[in-house]
Amino acid sequence: MSSRWITETLHEKEGFITSYRADKVLYEENTGQQQLVIFDNSLFGRMMTLDGATQVAERDEFVYHEMMTHVPILAHGSAKKVLIIGGGDGGILRETTRHKSVEKITMVEIDPAVTDFCKTHLPMVSAGAFDDPRLDLVFEDGTIFVAQSKEQYDVIIVDSTDPIGPGAVLFEESFYRNAKARLAPGGVIVTQNGVPFLQAAELKSTMDKFRRLFTCAHCYLASIPTYVGGPMAMGWGTDDEFLTAVTVETLRHRLATAGFQTRYYTPEVHKAAFALPRYVQDCFPV
């Protein structure tokens, strides 16, 4: 019996695909919102794809989740309320709960099936975070939530899929504008913006919109093996320009005070992540 291969089709139109051998398929279904597959791979462990795009892999998920979470929270320095848009696997939530100084975490996920499946088949990603008493889990379209909510948050993390399917609306300027209205003074929003080497237009589009909305519009990078094509960009929007000027020494103190160990994130990596190669800078030239 031949092995089944799960093919990532995100860059198929550009002539590039990636395949992972599925040693065992644990779940496969069209949820009504997205086509979801959860499977085991001998190299990357348990993996999940949505609509032909890799979302999470057990072996390297810590890179993405630590950098999406700890960079904004530690740069802010006194975040009490955090809003997560998307992130149904619970990885961003897990890393946010490690900050005991955070008093409230609101997580807005459009598809309850994704969260249910991940609790069952990817429990190592959330690691019990869904049981944290600080969590307010809301199943709703994130664009509707930020448009209608009156709460304000110190940090907003948009853990979206790529701009296809239901995730496309999370890249529109109206969403970013409403999300900004949910930021408390001195707050910061970070977004998943793909791999600039292959998805330069995606990063450029977000940065153009951020520049119209925020005093400080930037991005930072992290290398995640299953997100192929080079380092991934995380968009950064805030009206507090000093958040990117925080020193390594201050970040070391804040991380030590938080009292937990990381596997990828360090204060030095935090600072270096904002140093962009020229081809990334060219996505949003000054």
DSSP 145-182: HHHH----EEEEEEE---SSGGGGGGGSHHHHHHHHHT
- AA identity, residue 167: G
Q: Do the strands 81-86 and 216-222 form a parallel or antiparallel pair, or are they unpaired?
A: unpaired
Residue type, 127: A
Contact predicate 122/58, CB 8 Å: yes
* Residue type at position 73: I
- Cβ(62)–Cβ(263) below 8 Å: yes
- One DSSP character per residue, 13-61 reads GGT--EEEEESEEEEEEE-SS-EEEEEEETTTEEEEEETTEEEEETTTH
- Among 159, 239, 240, 282, which one carries the catalytic annotation? 159
Q: Would you call 159 a catalytic residue per the annotation?
A: yes
Q: Which residues are catalytic?
A: 159
